[in-house]
Each structure stands twice: as C-alpha cells, then as structure tokens.
Amino acid sequence: MIRYIHGKLVGKSERGIVVLVGDAKSGETDPKNMQGVGYEIEVPGSTQRALSGQGEGEDVELFISFQQSQQQPVPRLYGFKHQLERDFFEELLRVEDVGPRVALTAMSSVSVPHIAKAIVDRDVKSLKSLKGVGEKTAEKMIAELRSRAAKYALLPEGAVSALEEPIDFKTEVRETLVKQLGFKPVEAQRAIEDAMKRNPKIASPEDLFDEVLRGHK
C-alpha cells in the first residue's frame, strides 16, 4: 500500500501530476537523465496551488491515498500536501455515493475546515453547493461523518498543517464538545482533563479531540 511519495516532479498529466521516484545523481534536475518509476497522481486544487511554484526536476513530497474498487478496477493514486487532507479525503470516501472524483472535486472548491464545519453544523445547504453532492448525499455525509469531522473543523481556514494549531487548543476543543457534540460544560472539562492525564504529550486540538473520543467509547 502506497501512503507517501518523495520524488522529482516530472510534469503534468490529464489527471494531475507525474512524480519520478528512484535513484538520481546528486544535483540532477533534468528528468531525462533520471532513472526510476513515474507515478501519475491526482491532486486537489489546494495541492496544485501549493506546487504551482515548483518546476520540473524539483523535489515533491505527497501523502498518498491508494484507491482501487470494483467500480474503479484500475488503481489510482491521490496525493495531498498535508496528511490531514489525505485523512479527510478518506473519511469522505466512507460515505455511500461519494467516490474519489466527488471527494477530490469538493476539496478543490472549498477548504477542509469549511466542509467539516458544514458536516458538524448539519448544514445541508452548504454541502449541496459542492459539485456532485445532492441533498441525499449531504444527509449521508452528516450521518456518517459528524462525530469524526469535528477535529477537522477545528483547523484554521487556509491552514491544513497540524503545526498551525490554535494557541489555546483546550478551550477550542471544549467549545466544540459543548456546542457541536452535546457535552455539558462540566463533562467536557472533565473529559479534557482525563485525556491530558492519559496522554500528557498532547499538543494539538486534533490529538486532544481524538483522545477525548477514545475515552468515551
């Protein structure tokens, strides 16, 4: 299973980009003089924009989602600049009627936090505005993903990297638990304190949210 690729940008294809993975001489930037395997990788608009300043022969690092199914027998690779983007893409694929094409198109038009917040807020109207998503699919997204989407909604708009967490992440997680998941304030505070005791190394809202949910299974 391919989950991560580090290679040289060869160029663009009809579906995305081509990345050459293999041995290359130090300092070599001309793809014609390199040896290896070229992987065609489909990417969302956010990743395309992140790579727009890179030329052929430059290093590319992508988190990969490998997908193959009865409906899509030919294996395809989907690449993302950040791991959380890849993880959210795979969450979307859990939903019936949401295939890779719909998920990728949705993530190209709006940010991950925007989609996640719409799911958590039960905002069918916003979800229906995504290309390929109708009312029934929007309702399925909410039913299937609402409990897991909250941690992605915590991310700042325009910032997918987990390194850019809010300063007071405990407060933000507490507010999410109370306002969006129905916790009472005292319950939320206790759950956060228990989570921090179980794992004192927690340093981001995403990790804290996951630990709280693990403690309530």
Where do the H-state alpha helices sit in 54-163?
83-92, 100-109, 112-120, 124-128, 135-153
Comparing 123-127, 145-149, 162-166, 190-194, the range with the smallest average pLDDT is 162-166
pTM: 0.68
Q: How many residues does the chain have?
A: 217
Tens digit of each residue's pLDDT (9 = 90 or more) over 147-170: 889 888 877 665 454 333 334 678
Is the dihedral angle over the CA atoms 54, 58, 59, 63 positive or is it negative?
A: positive
CATH of domain 4-80: 2.40.50.140
Q: Where are the domains of the chain?
A: 4-80, 83-153, 169-215
CATH of domain 83-153: 1.10.150.20
Q: Does domain 169-215 have CATH number 1.10.10?
A: no
